[in-house]
Structure 1
Amino acid sequence: MATEERWCVVTGGRGFAARHLVDMLVRYNMFSVRIADLGPSIKLFPTEENGTLDEALRSGRAEYVSVDLRDKSQVIQACKGAEVVFHMAAPDSSINNYELHHSVNVKGTQNVIDACVELKVKRLIYTSSASVVFDGIHGINNVDESFPYPLKHNDTYSATKAEADALILKSNGINGLLTCSLRPSSIFGPGDRLFVPSLVSAARAGKLKFIIGDGNNMYDFTYVENVAHAHICAERALASEAIVAEKAAGQAYFITNMEPFKFWEFVSVVLVGLGYPRPYIKIPACIVMPIAHLVEWIYKLLAPYGMKVPQFTPSRIRLLSCSRTFNCSKANELLGYTPIVPFQDAMRRTIESYSHLRAESLPQKKGSSKPSTYLGGGKVANVLLWRNKKQTVVTLLTFVLIYLYFVASGYTLVTAVSKLLLVAATFLFIHSLLPEKIFGYTIEKVQGSKLYFSMETSQKNASLVASSWNYAVNDFRSLCRGNDWSLFFKVTLSLLALSLLGTISLRSFFTISLPIAFIAFYMYEQYEEQIDELFTEVLLHVCKLRADIANKLRRKRIYY
C-alpha cells in the first residue's frame, strides 16, 4: 500500500495489455498512475464507466496526458515526477510500415530512455515481444533469453521491437536507471479488439475452414492479466534490495502462461466456445504464400489511396504455421513471476467476455452470394462452388479426361471437336439400346426434346445477337466522332485482352481455365467481402488514372 503520493507512467496506457496493467496498479494502490497515450483525451469504454479507473480519475489517483512518443519534449513532460515508467506503447503490429514502426518503437523508446535518465527516474520496464527472436522461417521450441536476435525478422514490427529491446537493456545503469525488457508471447483475453474479433469475422464469412500448415505447430499464449502481473513482478524486483535488483536489472524475460498449446487447437476452442465450427481443411503454407505476397504487393500499391491493411500477409502466414514456445524459468527465478490465471481459466474467461460475438447473437447473412448469382444459382453454381461435392468431383474428372484424350494429345480445334462429337454420338446410340432397367437400376433415357431449341428460344438468341451487333455499331459511331475517351479506353483494353487470349493455345487454355473455374469461384465465395473491397480499391485507382490521362489529352487537344 502506498503511504505517500508516488507516481508511475504507463505509455500507450489505453492499449490492450496496458489497460489491464493500469487497472491492476490502481487496485493494488501501489502508485498514482499517469496514463500517457496518443489521443487528445481519455475515452472510457462502457465496461470501465463507474469502475476502478473511472473512480481513480475522479479522485486524482490517476490522470491522463496526451503524448506523442516521437516528440521528446512531450515525453519529458509526461515523465516528470515519476518513480517508474512502464513503456508499453507501440503501433499496430499488423501494419507492415517500417517508417511508422521505427519512429515509434525505436526513436520513441530512445526518447523515453533519455527522459528517464534526465529526470532521474528510478525504474523503466519495457514491454517488448517474443517475436524479437523469430525469423519467420524456423520454428522456435522452448528457447530461453540466450537465444539471439535473427539476422532478418519476420516483419518490420518485430525488427524495430528488437532494436528497442536492445536499447532498453543497454541503458541499464545510466544515471542510476534500472531497466528490464519483458517479452510476452501471443497476448489474449477480455478487451482484445483484434485477435478474437478477427477470428469471429473470418468464421462468419466462412473463411476459417482452413488450417494453414499441418495444424501441429505449438504456441505459447499469455493471458493479459498474467502480462500485467509480470510487469508488477518486474517493478517489485527492480525496487528490491540492491543484490536482488542488480541481478534482475538489465535483463530480458520471456513471459507466457507456461502451458504450450497447439495454435490451431486454440483457435478451435475459441470458435467452438462461441458457437462456430472449427477449421478442418489443411492447406500447406507454401500454397497460400504466393497469394499472400500478391495481396501485400497490391496493398503497397494502393495504400496511398486509402486501402485498409490486409490480414492475409506473408508474415501472418508464417506466424500461423510455425511453432513458437519459450522458457520462462528466468522470469520465475529473478522476478518471481508465476501465472496467476491458469490457461484453462483464461480460455473460459476470454470466451465468456465475448458473449456478444456468439454465433446466435449476430445477424446471419441473407440471400445468395455473388458468385452463386453470377453462376445462375443452379447446377453450375452447385458444381463450381463445391456444394455438391460428388457432382463436382465427377464433373472435374470428366473435364480432365476430355483434356487428356482430346487436348493434351495435340489435336487441332476442329479435330478435337469432331472427335468429341463422335464420342458423344456413340455414347448416345449405345445408351439408347440399353434396357430400361439393369440389375434393378433405372436407366434414364435422353429425350430428343432436351436437345431441341424451340422457336421462341431461337428468336431470343437471334435477337440477342442482333442487339449485340447494334450496340457494337453504336460504339463504332461514337469512336468515329472522337470525343468519347472513356469508350476508347474500354474498346482498347477489350481488344488487347482479346489479342492476348488469341495467343493462348487450346492446351494452355484448358490448363489455366480448369483450375480457375473450380477454385476461383469457390475462393470468391469464401472471401467475398475482402475481394469486393480490394476490387473497389483497384477500380477507383484505375478510374482516377483514366480520368487523369483523359484530362491531359483533352487539355492538349484544346491547346493545339
Structure 2
Amino acid sequence: MGGEDRWCVVTGGRGFAARHLVVMLIRFEMFSVRIADLPPSIKLDPDEEKGPLGEALRSGHAQYISTDLRDKSQVLKACLGAEVVFHMAAPDSSINNYDLHHSVNVQGTKNVIDACIEQNVKRLIYTSSPSVVFDGVHGIFNGDESLQYPARHNDSYSATKAEGEALVIKSNGMNGLLTCCIRPSSIFGPGDKLLVPSLVNAARAGKSKFIIGNGNNMYDFTYVENVAHAHICAERALASERMVSESAAGKAYFITNMEPIKFWEFCSLILEGLGYERPRIKIPVFVMMPIARIVELTYKLLAPYGMKVPQLTPSRIRLLSCSRTFNCSKANDRIGYTPIVPLQEGLRRTIESYPHLRADIQPKRHGPSKASIYLGSGRVADTLLWRDKKQSLTTLLIMFAFYFNFIASGYTIITAVSRLLLAASIFLFIHGRLPKKILGYSVEKVPESNFHFSEEMSHRVVVSVASLWNSVVNGLKSLCKGNDWMLFIKVVLSLLALILIEAISLQGLFVLGLPIVFVAFLVYEKKEEEIDGLVLGIHSFGCKLKSNIAKRLSNSK
C-alpha cells in the first residue's frame, strides 16, 4: 500500500501482542510504525534484529519513542503526524494495584484520546479485555456485546479497562476521530511471558497436578496472530468508505479463536507438549479461596518490602474456575474478522517456540537453595549446611558436650534444664564481673538487648497461642458432631505419631536427631530436585488415597 509517508503508533509496542501487531504492520507495508513504550530505548531480541522489525528500524520505516502515557506531553509527541493509533499499552494484569491500573488504563487513555484529537489522528483502536463484562462470580457462555459492565469487577485491572473502553467509545466522532475497541480473550502464542512460563514454573514446582474447581469450565483462547489480525481488520473497517456491514465505529468487539475448549484441557495440551504431566487432582474452589485471600493480604502487607506478586489470588482463582466463552459474530459482520490460525496450529507453534522450557531441560538453580531458605539463610543455615566448617564443628562439639553432661548422665529433663540454667547463670555473672581488658585482650560483654522480649514479639506469641487454642477447640467441636471422618482419622494418626515419638527416650532422640539435622539438610541441598519429586509423588498418592477413603465413607452413609 506504500506506507512510507503514513505513520501509525502502537502504544505499549514492546508488549506481547503488540510485538506481533508491529511485525504484521511492517510486513503488510501498511504504515511506517512508531513504537511507543516506557523503556528509555528499544532492545531487540536476536531474532528481531535479523527480522522485519530490525530491518524497518534501520531503514527508517519504524522508529521507537520512549513514552509514559501518564505524561500528556510525551503522548502528544508520540502521536505527532500519525494517521492511526493502536492503543495496546496496559500494566501487568496480575498486579491488583488500583492506583497503577487507573493511572495507565484510565488517565493514560484520556491522554491518548486528547492527543489523537489535538494531533488530528483519524483512527483509534483500543485493546480492551473480555474481563470488562466479567464480575468474577457468574460464568459467561457465548457472551456477546450486549453484555453490560457489572456493578463490581473481578479486579482493578478489569474495572479500569472498562473505564478506558467507555472513554474510547464515547470519544468516537470527536474532531473526526473514529474509534473502536477490541476485546481479545486469553491471548497465547510465541513470546508469551505469562501463561506458558507460569504453567511450566508450576509444573517444575509440582503444582501443575492440581485442578482448581471441577475442571469442566469452558474458555475461549486467542492465538496472538489472530489478535494482531483483528486490530488490522478493525483499522481497515474504520478506514473504508464502505463498511463491511453497518458502521464499525464507536463499538466494542469480542475476539477469539472461535473454538471454545475446557480451560484445564488447554493447559494440559501445553504441559504435555512440553513433556510435563497433565493436571489430575481436583481441589474445590471453596478450599482454595480462603488460602488465596490470606496470600493476597500477605502481599498487601509485604509488597513494600519486596514481596513478589503472588499467583494465588482470589481474582485468579475465579478466572481459573469460571467458564468464559464469547461470540464473535459481530466482529465478523462489522470488521470482517475471522481467525487466520486455527487453535491446534496455534498450540503447535506455541509449544515449538519454548524448547528451553521442556521438561528434559531443567534450569540451573539461581539464588539460595530451598534448604538455606528453610533455615533462614543466616548462621543456622551456614552451620547445618557446613558452609562454615569451623562453626559447624564447634557447634557439634558443644552439642556433644551438652549430651554427655546433661543427657547421657541419666538426669531427668527438669534436672538437666536446671543444671543448664545454673551453668548459664554462673557464666553470665562471672563474665559480667570480668574487666573490659585482660592481658591486652578486649572482653566483649553480652548486651542486655539480647534478652529483651519486645511487646510486639509478646503479642505475636500470645496471638499464636490463642489461634492454636481456637483451632483445637474447633476441632473438638467437630469431633463431638461425629460426622467428620477425615478429621477423626487425622487426629488419630497425629496422636499415634505422638505416642511413637514419646516412646523414644530423650537420649535416643538426641543420638538420632543430631546427626540427622547435620546431614539431612546438606543432603537435601545437594539432591533437592530428586527429593522434591519423591515427596510430590508421595503427596499425590496420599491425596488419591484420601479421596478414595472419602468417597467410600460417603457411599457407606
Into which bin does the TM-score normalised by the smaller protein fall?
Answer: 0.7 to 0.9
Residue by residue over 1:50-77, the C-alpha shift from the partner in whole angstroms, topping out at 9 and shown as x without a partner, is 1110111000000000000000010001
Which residue in the other structure is 2:449 paired with?
Answer: 485
Aligned residue number for residue 528 of structure 2: none
CA, structure 1 residues 475+123, in 2 after alignment: closer, same or farther (shift >3 Å)? farther
Pair 1:268-2:217 in alignment? no
SS at match of 2:18: helix
Deviation at 1:525, TM superposition (A): 7.0
Matches within 5 A, 1:224-235: 224-235=224-235
Letter paired with 1:355: P
| Structure 2 match to 1:306 | 306
Aligned residues of 2:139 and 2:323 also touching (Cα < 8 A): yes
Q: Structure 1 residue 208: deviation in Å? A: 1.1
Q: What's the offset of the Cα at 1:45? A: 1.5
Moved over 3 A (4+): 242-246, 363-366, 368-371, 455-458, 460-483, 490-518
Q: Which amino acid aligns with 2:251?
A: Q
> Tell me, what secondary structure is at the counterpart of 1:40?
coil
Matches within 5 A, 1:88-487: 88-241=88-241, 244=244, 247-363=247-363, 459=408, 462=411, 468-469=417-418, 472=421, 483-487=447-451
Indicate how the Cα distance of structure 1 residues 217 and 341 shifts in structure 2: closer, same or farther if over 3 A, else same: same
Contact 1:106 1:164 in 2 (8 A): yes
CA distance in 2, matches of 1:499, 1:214: 36
Q: Could you tell me how far 1:214 is from its partner in structure 2?
A: 0.3
Distance of aligned partners of 1:317 and 1:508 in 2 relative to their CA distance in 1, 3 Å threshold: closer
Residue aligned with 2:340, SS: coil
Does the 8 A contact of 2:244 with 2:333 survive in 1?
no
Q: Which amino acid aligns with 2:185?
A: S
Unaligned residue ranges in structure 1 (runs of 5+): 375-454, 519-523, 529-560
Distance 1:73 1:19 in 2: 24
Provide, for residues 81-114 of structure 1, a one-character-per-residue CA deviation record: whole Å limited to 9, x for no partner.
0000000000000000000000000000010000
Deviation at 1:362, TM superposition (A): 1.2
Q: Distance in 2 between matches of 1:186 and 1:516?
A: 46
SS class of match (2:453): helix
Cα distance change of structure 1 residues 473 and 305 upon mapping to structure 2, 3 Å threshold: farther
Give the Å deviation of 1:489: 2.1
Residues 245 and 333 of structure 2 are in contact (CA less than 8 Å); yes or no, is this contact kept in structure 1? Answer: no
Task: Tell me how far apart the structure 1 counterparts of residues 220 and 78 of structure 2 sit (CA, whole Å).
Answer: 34
Query: Any idea what SS the aligned residue of 1:248 has?
Result: coil
Measured against aligned partners, the alpha-carbon deviations of 1:318-340 in whole angstroms (never above 9, x if no partner) come to 00000000000000111110000
CA 1:457–1:20: 2 relative to 1, 3 Å: same
For structure 2, the 5+ residue unaligned runs are 376-403, 433-445, 480-486, 495-530, 536-557
Select between 60-69 and 301-310 the one with higher mean Cα deviation.
301-310
Tell me, in whole angstroms, the C-alpha distance in 1 between the residues paired with 2:406 and 2:426.
30
- Residue by residue over 1:327-362, the C-alpha shift from the partner in whole angstroms, topping out at 9 and shown as x without a partner, is 000001111100000000000000110111000011
- Give the secondary structure class of the aligned counterpart of 1:48: helix
Letter in 1 for 2:449: W
Contact 1:186 1:221 in 2 (8 A): yes
- Aligned equivalents of 1:163, 1:506: Cα separation in 2: 48
CA RMSD of aligned residues (A): 3.5
Instruction: Give the Cα separation in 1 of the matches to 2:370 and 2:469.
Output: 34
Equivalent position of 1:67 in the other structure: 67
Return the letter of the residue paired with 1:251: K
Seq. identity, %: 65
Q: Distance in 2 between matches of 1:359 and 1:266?
A: 18
Stretch deviating more after TM superposition (509-518 or 142-151): 509-518
Q: Contact 1:478–1:484 (CA<8 Å) still a contact in 2?
A: no
Please give the alpha-carbon distance, in whole angstroms, between the structure 2 residues aligned to 1:308 and 1:495: 27
In the alignment, the residues of structure 2 paired with residue 460 and residue 273 of structure 1 have an alpha-carbon distance, to the nearest angstrom, of 62
Give the Cα separation in 2 of the matches to 1:69 and 1:164.
13
Q: Residue type matched to 1:30 in 2?
A: M
Structure 2 SS opposite 1:360: coil
- Evaluate the alpha carbon distance shift between residue 212 and residue 515 of structure 1 in structure 2; reply closer, same or farther with a 3 A threshold: farther
- Superposed CA deviations along residues 256-293 of structure 1, whole A, max 9, x for unmatched, are 00000000001111001101111111111011100000
Q: Which amino acid aligns with 2:448?
A: D
| Structure 2 letter corresponding to 1:184 | P
CA distance in 1, matches of 2:471, 2:6: 78
Aligned-partner residue type, residue 212 of structure 2: I
State how far apart, in whole Å, the 1-side matches of 2:79 and 2:464 are.
66
CA contact (8 A) 1:238 1:244 kept: no
Deviation at 1:487, TM superposition (A): 3.0
TM-score, scaled relative to structure 2: 0.72
Residue aligned with 2:226, SS: helix
Between the aligned partners of 1:295 and 1:456, the Cα distance in structure 2 is 46
Determine if contact 1:268/1:278 at 8 Å carries over to the other structure: yes
**CA distance in structure 2 between the aligned counterparts of 1:468 and 1:298, rounded to whole angstroms:** 38
| Secondary structure of residue in 2 paired with 1:92 | coil
CA contact (8 A) 1:479 1:487 kept: no
CA contact (8 A) 1:219 1:325 kept: yes
Residues 501/35 of structure 1: CA separation in 2 closer, same or farther (3 Å cut): closer
292 and 507 in structure 1: CA distance in 2 versus 1, 3 angstrom threshold: closer
Q: TM-score, normalising length from structure 1?
A: 0.72
How big is the shift at 1:485?
2.8
Alignment CA distance shift 1:361-1:121 (3 Å): same
Whole-angstrom distance in 2 between the partners of 1:280 and 1:460 = 54
Residue 471 of structure 1 deviates from its aligned partner by 5.3
User: What amino acid is the match of 1:164?
Assistant: G
What secondary structure, in the 3-state scheme, does the structure 2 residue paired with 1:8 have? strand
Specify the SS of the correspondent of 1:142. Answer: strand
